[in-house]
């Protein structure tokens, strides 16, 4: 069935959208505030180039993981689906378990 393949592709696209440090940091920043955060504040907090941040926001927007509203000159972003937060928590939990097993950080530092 061809639709099944499309859905799998959508899932991997979803994960691909999360698969970059800057985008993880964007989501964690948006998660912390709970409410809307403007791009200008993200630039400040994450300390990345404006253009680069904008591209990462664009990738998250395309997957509809975040949405934006324009307020005057500013654009406010927020996480669209609360499930995204759950996913972030679960990853945190998996890493925590890996730490307990003494695998995580050492491996990460070593083999890349």
Partner DNA sequence: CAACTATTTAATAATATTATAATATATTTT
Partner DNA sequence: AAAATATATTATAATATTATTAAATAGTTG
In the 3-class helix/strand/coil scheme, how is 19-78 assigned residue by residue?
CCHHHHHHHHHHHHHCCCEEHHHHHHHHCCCHHHHHHHHHHHHHCCCEEEEEECCEEEEE
* Interface region with DNA, contact rule CB under 7 A, candidates 1-9, 25-33, 38-46, 88-96: 38-46
Task: List strands edge to edge, sheet with 66-71.
Answer: 37-38, 74-79, 66-71
* Interface region with its own copies, contact rule CB under 8 A, candidates 10-18, 29-37, 51-59, 69-77: 10-18
Of the pair 100, 111, the CB lying nearest DNA is at 111
* Interface region with its own copies, contact rule CB under 8 A, candidates 20-28, 37-45, 50-58, 67-75: 20-28
The pairing of beta strand 66-71 with beta strand 37-38: unpaired
Is 2 a residue that touches its own copies (CB under 8 A)? no
Is 86 a residue that touches its own copies (CB under 8 A)? yes
Is 72 a residue that touches DNA (CB under 7 A)? yes
């Amino acid at each position: 069935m061809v639709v099944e393949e499309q859905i799998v592709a959508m899932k991997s696209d979803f994960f691909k959208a999360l698969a970059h440090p800057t985008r993880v940091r964007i989501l964690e920043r948006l998660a912390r505030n709970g409410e809307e955060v403007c791009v200008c504040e993200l630039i400040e907090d994450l300390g990345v180039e404006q253009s680069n941040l904008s591209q990462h926001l664009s990738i998250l927007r395309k997957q509809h993981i975040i949405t934006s509203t324009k307020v005057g000159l500013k654009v406010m972003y927020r996480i669209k689906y609360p499930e995204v937060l759950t996913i972030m928590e679960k990853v945190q939990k998996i890493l925590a378990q890996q730490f307990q097993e003494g695998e995580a950080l050492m491996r990460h530092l070593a083999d890349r």
